[in-house]
Chain A
Amino acid sequence: MNKRVLTIFVVSGAALAVLPLLKLPAFYESFLYLVFHWVVLATSWNILSGYSGYFSFGHGAFFGLGMYTTAVLAGKFNWPFLYTLPMAALVPALFGVGLGAVVFRLRRLRGELFGLLTLAVTFVIATIILNTPIDGGPGVYLSAVPIPAIGPSPSATFYLLALAMMMLVLWVAYYIYNARLGSGLFAIHDDEDVAEVQGVPTYRFKLQALAISSAFAGVAGGVHALFVSYVTAGEVFNIVVPLYVVLMSVLGGSRHWLGPAVGATAITALSYAFTAGDSAVVGRAAIGLILIVVILFMPDGILGQLIKRFKSRRALPPLPTPVAPAVISAQGSSGEVLLTIDNVSKSFSGVKALQNVSMEARRGEILGLVGPNGSGKSTMVNVISGLYKPEAGRILFQGEDLVPLPSYRAAHAGIARTYQIPRPFASLSVLENTTLAGMFGGTQLSRADAAAQAMYWLEFVGLADRARALPTELNLHQRKFLELSRALASSPRLVLLDEVLAGLTPSEINNAVTLVREIRRRGSTIIFIEHNMRAVLELCDRLIVLNHGQVIASGMPREVMNDPAVVSAYLGTPHG
């Protein structure tokens, strides 16, 4: 934990907490209550949506569930107000987990479709609440509910409650931002499939983020129910809450934990400034215009823009010192079976990419996997690494069948891969990309250890001087080597290299061949997919040839290449 940040938190929280002692007019406390209220809502939204990229328009549903939980428990069942607040957090959190358990399993429900789904859920909940005894139509009054005497006056009480919520949610947002959960969510934001294959338990992380996000929205709703003292479905479940939290986060900067707070403060103050005069309509239009301008000209938000400025002026923090990882533990002896592919089949809408393929990889070898284009080599890599699940067959890695397990477990077991077309996390630097692989792969390193080892691997592949660059600033050759450093950063037992040499110049290929040998020397087993036959013959101990999704030959490289079936697969059958 960063001591400086902790001090700032404690000092600013304490300073704000003594404000009611100044006996300011109640108006100031109520205004600040609204600012804090929106900071809580926007920050809680950002924990799921800003970090992971799952933009939700359903924040109003969680907020509204919290509001109605408190309203019903306090207003109809006469619970003391403060006792309703844990329930106001719990009900939306449970609902969020239930929703996520269905939705987060579906690959296609990302991006705008997730947003629409969450919006639709909001209106379904609103309709149910409106038409059942929870509300029944006339709304729920809380005017008879006693306001706890936390502060010297009711307005001070609300102010202090909102302040406590805000400090807590900011702390949680800051904590997650720096924790494994945050790193995993940012990886999901950029490329969820790659994140899962690298060992990020994406499903669990998304559920956790959604539960935390909806719990805070619910508490904010619970407090707000008493603040407005009259709750109606029409006021609670409209489109204002979900759209304002998006607006605030995007305006402030949704990639930073503090961004939504900046945006929420700006928008709340701005709307107040306009509504105070006679120009409420102009104010609304101005907010709309600001949203457009920010998205077109400042995609990183206010805070993102400021940080960029600030960074370019200040000296950069030093890069971590490289630390060589331990040599990969050799459980078992060289030559024994590490991976068994047993009768695996995979098809894509009728096209059989793999048909009952069986093969094995032995510890310590470089196994070449070759075949004409479309023969199923990349599908094989995708199936072993967990990106695709096969329809039939088993994949035994060190005796454990990976097929029924979640995809991220392949990485935890010690499998790493590269992508034929590099797929780095676009908004993370070269160093962060490599660090992430060490944090979530088989070794499960802490961030600091992973960063130190990542520097070692960047030096190993020759990218150390580009550590701070973004992947878009690299050329193809460098991006291929970034793939390699990512695959190695988890000290994998098995590395799947999918056409790492394609597109490289002859001298770059020589360089890469040396690296591949070095990877094996460090204790990794390698499955090597390649079209470059010179490199294949030079490197591979054994060769397996795929054609039309079936194994047509296997054995020593030179023998296999002279096999008539292989020759005809590549060149066709000679007319006789």
Chain B
Amino acid sequence: MQFPSLELLGQSLLSGLFIGGLYGLLGLGLSLSWGMLRQINLAHFALSFLGAYLTYQLSSSFGVDPLITLVIVAPGFFVFGMAMHWVFARFKVTPFNSLLVTFGLTVIIESFIQWVWTADYRKLESHYADIKFKVGAMYIPLPELLTLLISVGLALVTWAVLRYTPIGKAMRAMAENPKMAAAFGVNEPMLALLLSGAASAFAGVAGACLALSFTLAPSQIYAWIGVVFSAVMIGGLGNPIGPLVAGIVIGMSEAATMAVTAPAWAPLVSFTLLIAVLILRPGKI
């Protein structure tokens, strides 16, 4: 173990902060559907990658700005999320079975991606990628900064909507007790559809951010599952801000681990944290 220079450590922590933002963004939709609809949506990751590939395609074929592609992708995913929830509600899928069903969906989406875009690595060449700021001794790449800003913005907006608007309050009531909420006049099926749609649309947004900064391959879908699940569980199910905070903590601890030891040790951080949270945290998660 050797200690890196201060600049290197600072740069590592900064990149940890940025990737933590992406963990939070991926975790936001997952946390909402798990905490409020009791559905563990493994397909969230595959959907995000599908969104990333769509962004990649629209951007490289038609020259659409990567962030503008969301105008098409997000509503499309919203409808997809509603359809998915309709099936779940129709068949009364239990939380555990939702994990299995969405795993099936993951495999289908992965195969679709591989069929259309092959298993080769794809990288979006956008005008954002070239822009870097220098603050002090540190470089700040624009795509990563945008991701972090979008992640923070979306988390805050979701939090505010759930906290202050009538529809958000109704959603929280529904999450607490769907039957009781329905008895008080909350249109539970409609709200659940909206929430599921929103969670999927968030996957689309996360996908655009993935495409901005990362090289894409279908097999990469599985690489994110563990760490994002950790962020969601540590941050608290159904909590819009928690996964972001937890994601940043995990991202920065991973970065510090990588800087101090070898990069291959990084997965240990998030998974050990997840195990520790599961075993030590009192009460229900």
Contacts and interface: CB of A to CB of B under 8 A. Distances in A.
B107 A120 contact: no
Interface stretch (B144-152, B171-179, B222-230): B222-230
A289 B283 contact: no
Interface stretch (A127-135, A311-319, A330-338, A556-564): A127-135
Contacts of A282: 111, 115
Contact of A243 (B97, B103, B271): B103
B108 A285 contact: yes
A281 B111 contact: yes
A287 interface: yes
B252 to A, nearest CB: 18
Given A117-B275, A292-B105, A124 B100 contact: no
A340 B110 CA distance: 63
Contacts of B40: 112
Nearest to B219: A238
A291 interface: yes
Given A102-B279, A295-B93, A296-B101, A120 B230 contact: yes
Nearest to B90: A296
Interface class of chain A by DSSP: helix
B278 A109 contact: yes
B278 A117 contact: yes
B267 interface: yes
Contacts of A288: 103-108, 111
A130 B100 CA distance: 29
B268 A127 contact: yes
Contacts of B103: 243, 247, 288, 291
Contacts of B97: 295, 299
B107 A121 contact: no
A127 B271 contact: yes
Interface in A275-302: 281-282, 284-285, 287-292, 295-296, 299
A108 B111 contact: no
Nearest to A119: B226
Given A123-B271, A127-B271, A295-B97, A103 B104 contact: no
Contacts of B233: 116
A286 B103 CA distance: 13
Contact of A239 (B96, B108, B225, B271): B225
A116 B111 contact: no
A436 to B, nearest CB: 24
Nearest to A109: B278
Range of interface residues on chain B?
35 or more
Given A111-B96, A124-B275, A246-B100, A287 B107 contact: yes
A465 to B, nearest CB: 31
B225 A292 contact: no
Contact of B265 (A109, A111, A131, A238): A131
23 contacts: A108-B284, A109-B278, A112-B96, A113-B285, A116-B229, A117-B274, A120-B275, A127-B265, A127-B268, A128-B268, A130-B264, A247-B100, A284-B107, A285-B107, A285-B111, A288-B105, A288-B107, A291-B101, A291-B107, A292-B101, A292-B104, A292-B105, A295-B101
Given A117-B274, A127-B268, A131-B264, 17 more contacts: A111-B96, A112-B95, A117-B275, A120-B229, A128-B268, A130-B264, A131-B265, A239-B222, A243-B103, A247-B103, A281-B114, A281-B115, A282-B115, A288-B104, A289-B104, A291-B100, A292-B104
Interface of A: 55, 102-103, 106, 108-109, 111-113, 115-117, 119-121, 123-124, 126-128, 130-131, 137, 238-239, 243, 246-247, 250, 281-282, 284-285, 287-292, 295-296, 299
Q: Which 3 A-B pairs have the closest CB atoms?
A: A288-B107, A291-B104, A285-B111
